[in-house]
Structure 1
Amino acid sequence: MKKNCVFLTIDSLRADHATELYGLMPEVNEYANDGVRLTHAYSNGYSTPVSFPTILTGTYANHYGGYGYMSDERPFLASKFNAAGYETAGFHTNPHLRDDKNYDVGFEKYNDVDDEAGELSRVRYLITQNLDSDSTLYKYLKRAYHFLRTTSGSTDYTEAPKLNQKALRWLDEEYDDDSPFFLWTHYMDVHYPFYPPDKFLDQVTDRSISTNRAISVNGKMHEEDEELSEADAADLQSLYRGDIRYLDHHIGEFIDALKKRGLFKDTIFIITSDHGELFGEHDLFGHPPSGYEESFHVPLFCFGSGIPEGTRVNELASLVDLPPTIAELFNLDNDSRWEGTSLVPDLHQQPRDESRTMFLGDKNVLTYQTEEWRLVWWRTKENPQQADKEWELFQLPECERVPLTEQEEIVNRFREELHTYIDRIEDENELAEPTVDDATEDRLEALGYN
């Protein structure tokens, strides 16, 4: 009997906050303890557009014309499930993953971005399009927008409970239980802006953070992060943690709902994140172009039917490895175009024949990483904080910055790898820039994408 696959991805969840140490995800960690926990997993991108090509197609973002539009030439994971007789459904609410960017390939059911932001979203669009962002009126109206958004309970994405309801409705009303299924859900609840319900915020901090305070620090993070103080950053991180606790609760409810439907025992679950989040580390906030640990280190858990229990994998892994891993777990056709390596031997604690390397980032900031070293190439100077840098070397796992002159052989070898990678991309294609309509641009701006 074929097993089902439930693939849950979480936007902006950094690895350290998903560990038992923080206690923010007790529901997910309880299941992870009954399966495999990959402790050194890395996203291949610092943001959703750069990361998701690896997650759903097993190919780096810069290839196949870039990540503005997912080329039909990419080997889509959902298509592999479809060809193997699986029913396939995807549920998300991130504007970067819309069907008009071709992310729906292989999915028979694709729940795209809902038009749920309503009048508030249109008000914000009018503000951003018609006022000078440096004007007093602009800042006042943006603050008023954040206040109305928070007090009304409106969001610029579909929250976890509703997204779960849609997935369960598909299972109840559309899914043919004579076939196995592949269900992918991408949650946005941990993404900026951070406004957790008080019930969950109170579980992660003793400090009282008022609605006005939450609005203020979220607004600063988006509009003027250089003015954020240490106290502001601490409150932002508490709000972020409250959102994580909230999402963990609803993931637990979703898995319970699958159990009640008798679907748990024949299902393999994979849970990860598309990238991390910065809260003042390296003088950065959010997920801008970067080459830092907080941007790339993500959780990766696998549990369920036939998965070894109580296993920790400490070797290097990346999200580009997921499609070949999932293909092997579910006996799908392998694809030579996949650029990662199956992690199934790691799940069973089989020794590796060779060490792994990976590329992280895109044409702006590109990183080459091994088990021991990470070289960051700041190819553009989008971040003022990095204006005086071009290359940075870090020793892992402590992520200690090392002077380039102390490891010249490693630096030169890694530089050659990165230059070869860029040459390959430029030989293949010119990178396509993303194009978005006004409504999508509006949603992206609300989520912190300037």
Structure 2
Amino acid sequence: LRWDMLDPRWMPNTTRFTESAQVFTDHYSNGNATKPGIFTLFYGLPASYWDAFSAHQVPPVLIQRMQSLGYQSQILSSATLVSPAFDRNVFSSIKELRLKTPGDTSWQRDQQITQDWLDFLDRRSSHDNASPFFGFLFYDAPHSYQVPPDYPRIEPYWESVNQLALDDDFDPEPYFNVYKTTVRFVDDQIHRVLADLSKRQLMEDTLVIITSDHGQEFNDNGMNYWGHGSNFSRYQLQVPLVIHWPGKAPSVVEHRTEHFDLAPTLLTDVLGCSESATESYSSGEHLYTPHDKKWSIAHSYMNSAFLTEELQLVSYPSGGMEMLSTQLQPIDDAPLPMELIKRALKEQSRFYP
């Protein structure tokens, strides 16, 4: 879900929900694909640690802390949790984790996880369960460009998406409208979840966070990039972040934030951890506090990037490197910010023994 979809034309329910929430207008994922996007969101660490955490099946501090406090977890994903293998890292400590949701299409599975969530809250209610809960609902229709056959289309609409037909001369509007239609469909599912929480009077003491693993590009850079996982521009990294936080007034947060920041913020402000200890388990800062950090790290499935406001230094598995502007134009003669690069390299390895 790219950041500019938070618009009443495409997400009317979620946009209305922002009236009682904090909206982060300059928020970025630390990955341009699902694997690094979800990993960085939960761990607050660069995706360079993926292999180590997966090999030892060590869950994030965030989930470990919730489990130690007796949180009941309900993990519902329309996409499989075995590829990428979130069952071996992010959710490795969740008992009876459902790896695949029934359904032939992503939209059927999206509807299913919504219903499963409502059923979960029904069961809690019938047992008068007073324990805290954590839910994760991962919708997938915008990833696969599928909606029900009778769902209203945003026109003009590309009925049969064929990605082999894409090139730099392809008119993106019908394809982009397919994406917008799937976003609106997921917005309907979000509405069902939010309306149910309100009906149960749970909104008064429940944090609700709406964000995404990565963005989606439709040749916005004019360089024949489509989808995600192919570059580190804002179209593939910038995502919405909306937080309904009981006790906090609705607001617009304009300073830059990133996925690294979510876990340490929740751990210190909700789950009782020391704010001074966040550096011992995370690369992030506090979401609500502006900071002067001038660099970031983002990963794809294979390559990674050191990012500043002026440039991108992209590293490839072959050992090659490329310096680009934020508009993806090659830069040949800009001075490298060596001190910042050293800090970024250290951040990708400082938790190894």
| Contact 2:60 2:90 survives alignment (8 Å) | no
Partner of residue 182, structure 1: 134
The structural deviation recorded for 1:196 is 5.7
Are the equivalent residues in 2 in contact too, given 1:89–1:108 (CA < 8 A)? no
Contact residue 79 and residue 107 of structure 1 kept, 8 A: no
Local SS of the residue matching 2:192: helix
Larger radius of gyration: 1
User: Structure 1, residues 380-400: CA drift from partner, whole Å, max 9, x if none?
Assistant: 58xxxxx9x822122xxxx58
Aligned to 2:244: 303
Distance 1:71 1:356 in 2: 32
In 1, the alpha carbon distance for the partners of 2:261 and 2:26 equals: 13
Q: Counterparts of 1:211-222 in structure 2 under 5 Å?
A: 213-215=158-160, 218-219=161-162, 221=163
Corresponding residue to 2:281 among 337, 353, 362? 337
Post-superposition CA distance 1:157-186 (Å, at most 9, x none): 753322111011112125752112111111
* Deviation of 1:421 (Å): 5.6
Residue 40 of structure 2: aligned partner: 54
How far is the alpha carbon of 1:379 from its aligned partner?
1.6
Partner of 1:366: 304
> Are 2:323 and 2:330, in contact at CA under 8 Å, matched by a contact in 1?
no
Q: Distance in 2 between matches of 1:70 and 1:41?
A: 30
CA-CA distance at 1:373 after TM superposition: 2.8
Partner of 2:117: 167
- What pairs with 1:394-409 in structure 2 (closer than 5 Å)? 394=326, 399=327, 401=329, 403-405=331-333, 407-409=334-336
Tell me the SS of whatever aligns to 1:80.
helix
Pick one of 247, 253, 256 that aligns with 1:313.
Answer: 253
Question: Tell me, which stretches of 5 or more residues in structure 2 are unaligned?
Answer: none
Aligned counterpart, 2:314: 377
Does the C-alpha gap of structure 1 residues 421 and 82 become closer, same or farther in structure 2, counting only changes over 3 Å? closer
Deviations 1:88-127 (A, max 9, x none): 221113223556434323435633312533xxxxxxxxxx
Match of 2:214 among 275, 281, 296: 275
Q: Return the structure number with greater helix share.
A: 1
1:250 aligns with 2:189: yes
CA apart distance, 1:156: 4.8
3-state SS of paired residue (1:315): coil
Letter in 1 for 2:17: Y
Matches within 5 A, 1:96-175: 96=83, 100-108=87-95, 110-117=97-104, 155-156=105-106, 158-174=108-124
> Share of identical aligned residues, percent?
20
Task: State how far apart, in whole Å, the 2-side matches of 1:413 and 1:392 are.
Answer: 18
Match of 1:15 in 2: 3
Could you tell me whether the CA contact under 8 Å between 1:289 and 1:365 is conserved in 2?
A: no
Q: Summarize the alignment of residues 85-104 of structure 1 with structure 2, pairs less than 5 Å apart.
A: 85-95=70-80, 96=83, 100-104=87-91
CA shift digits 1:75-99 (9 cap, x unpaired)? 3422211112221221113223556
Paired with 1:299 and 1:356, the residues of 2 have a C-alpha distance of 21
Q: Aligned partner of 1:364: which letter?
A: M
Contact 2:147 2:185 in 1 (8 A): no
Partners of 2:281 and 2:215 in 1: CA distance: 27
Alignment TM-score, normalising by the size of structure 1: 0.68
Asked if 1:80 is matched to 2:65, the reply is: yes
Let me know the Cα RMSD of the aligned residues.
Answer: 3.0
Query: Residue type matched to 1:331 in 2?
Result: L
Mark the runs of 5 or more structure 1 residues left unpaired by the alignment. Answer: 1-12, 118-154, 347-351, 382-386, 430-450
For 1:19 and 1:178, locate their aligned partners in 2 and report how far apart those are by CA, in whole Å.
Answer: 36
The change in CA–CA distance for 1:228 and 1:390 in structure 2 (over 3 A counts) is: closer
**Counterparts of 1:197 and 1:304, CA distance in 2:** 36
**Is contact 1:94–1:157 with CA below 8 Å preserved after alignment?**
no
Deviation at 1:29, TM superposition (A): 1.2
- Structure 1 pair 254/47, CA: closer, same or farther in 2 (3 Å)? same
Distance, in Å, in 2 between the alignment partners of 1:287 and 1:276 is 7
1:300 positional shift: 0.4
| Counterpart code for 1:177 | N
Do the aligned residues in 2 keep the contact of 1:92 with 1:186 (CA within 8 Å)? yes
Question: Is the 1:15–1:276 contact (alpha carbons within 8 Å) kept by the matching residues of 2?
Answer: yes
User: Contact 2:87/2:99 (CA < 8 Å) preserved in 1?
Assistant: no
For 1:366 and 1:99, locate their aligned partners in 2 and report how far apart those are by CA, in whole Å.
Answer: 20
Q: Distance in 2 between matches of 1:278 and 1:75?
A: 29
Q: TM-score by structure 2 length?
A: 0.85
Q: Distance in 2 between matches of 1:32 and 1:239?
A: 24
